[in-house]
Amino acid sequence: MNKEVKRKFIIGDEWLYYKLYTGPKTADKILTEVIKPVTEKLLLDNIIDKWFFIRYADPKLHIRVRFHYKSPEKIFNITEIVKKFINPYIEDGLIWKVQADTYNREIERYGYDTIELAEDLFFRDSEMIVNMLDLIEGDEGEVVRWLFSLRAIDALLENFKYDEQQKLNLSEKLKTGFGKEFGMNKSLKRQLDMKFRKERFVINNVLNRKNDSESEMKQLFELLNKKSSDIEQIVSYLLEKNVNNKLQAPLDDLLSSYIHMTMNRIFKSKQRVHEMVIYDFLYHYYTSNIAKMKYCKVGS
């Protein structure tokens, strides 16, 4: 791709973009009962080759879904299948507005020659997350949701070959940025430190991978493993460009953006608050890991 890369897609172009207006409590239901079967059918029938979603508010909460197709005539197949699946939810009032819109790519954020790779990553991420949402429910599901987010971030950093120090550096950058946004002070820092200490055992258990085969989250970890496999070529291409200094945005910045979008998809609401907590937990976890490694080296 060059600097003439297409920025905007209107109806009839190769990206079809819907906004589905629904409440935060019903968004997961729409994702698992509408978006998941719709996209599975569209992919199976070769009508689309990728798709992705994000949660957004303008200021009304909605799900933004983008479908990519290569043949112009496919747009009619997409609209008919989407209409068939969403009509019952419109009649029940769970979706109160559907709007088609222009997809405006964030080219500066993701890079002129890597925006398509970002969209490929978003596709695999969205696919993983709707499958994850389909496996969780109730209060227990909310606990699993934030634990899964920790593992999802760590898995992505592993995919990009980050060592423990690089993980710590990035998590520190993220936690500091979000800390400033939420007015980090001694009281808030103390609350986060106490929460991490309280949850330390379960966080370690999820992130150290030692008990994956016996874990109650085994199916969710398998989804992460599948995503890791699916994005392998994308990651290799990005890493090669990084080594050759050909990325238009620093790799840390790209990863920060990819991670931010994953957090947006996982959590139903107050995503940025969740991000602040998750990045703080990861920072503490990596700090502890590095300290242990240094201690082991001294001991040996």
How do residues 150-160 score in pLDDT, each as one tens digit?
999 999 999 99
Mean pLDDT for the stretch of residues 218-240: 98
Those residues whose C-beta lies under 8 Å from the C-beta of residue 5, and which sit 6 or more positions away, are: 105, 107, 112, 113, 115
3 state SS of 219: helix
Is the pTM higher than 0.85? yes
The closest alpha carbon to 227, from 127, 119, 116, belongs to 127
φ, ψ at 64 (rounded to 5°): -100, 120
Alpha-carbon distance 114 to 109, whole Å?
10
3 state SS of 163: coil
Q: Is 285 exposed, middle or buried (0-12, 13-18, 19+ CB in 10 A)?
A: buried
pLDDT of residue 3: 54
pLDDT band per the 50, 70, 90 thresholds, residue 1:
very low
Residue 138 has pLDDT above 90, yes or no: no
The closest alpha carbon to 146, from 27, 278, 280, 286, belongs to 278
The closest alpha carbon to 114, from 229, 17, 248, belongs to 248
Those residues whose C-beta lies under 8 Å from the C-beta of residue 205, and which sit 6 or more positions away, are: 211, 215
pLDDT tens-digit map of 57-73:
999 999 999 999 989 99
Alpha-carbon distance 200 to 220, whole Å?
20
pLDDT of residue 299: 58
Residue 77 has pLDDT above 80, yes or no: yes
pLDDT tens-digit map of 166-189:
999 999 999 999 988 899 999 999
pLDDT band per the 50, 70, 90 thresholds, residue 300:
low
pLDDT tens-digit map of 100-119:
999 999 999 999 999 999 99
Domains in the chain, start-ordered, CATH in brackets? 8-105 (3.30.70.600), 111-299 (no CATH)
3 state SS of 90: helix
**What is Dmax (Cα atoms) for the chain?**
68
> What six digits make up the tokens of 121?
């990553």
> What six digits make up the tokens of 111?
């890079």
pLDDT of residue 175: 96
- Establish how many alpha carbons lie within 13 A of residue 266's alpha carbon, considering only the half-sphere containing its beta carbon: 29
pLDDT of residue 298: 60
pLDDT of residue 296: 75
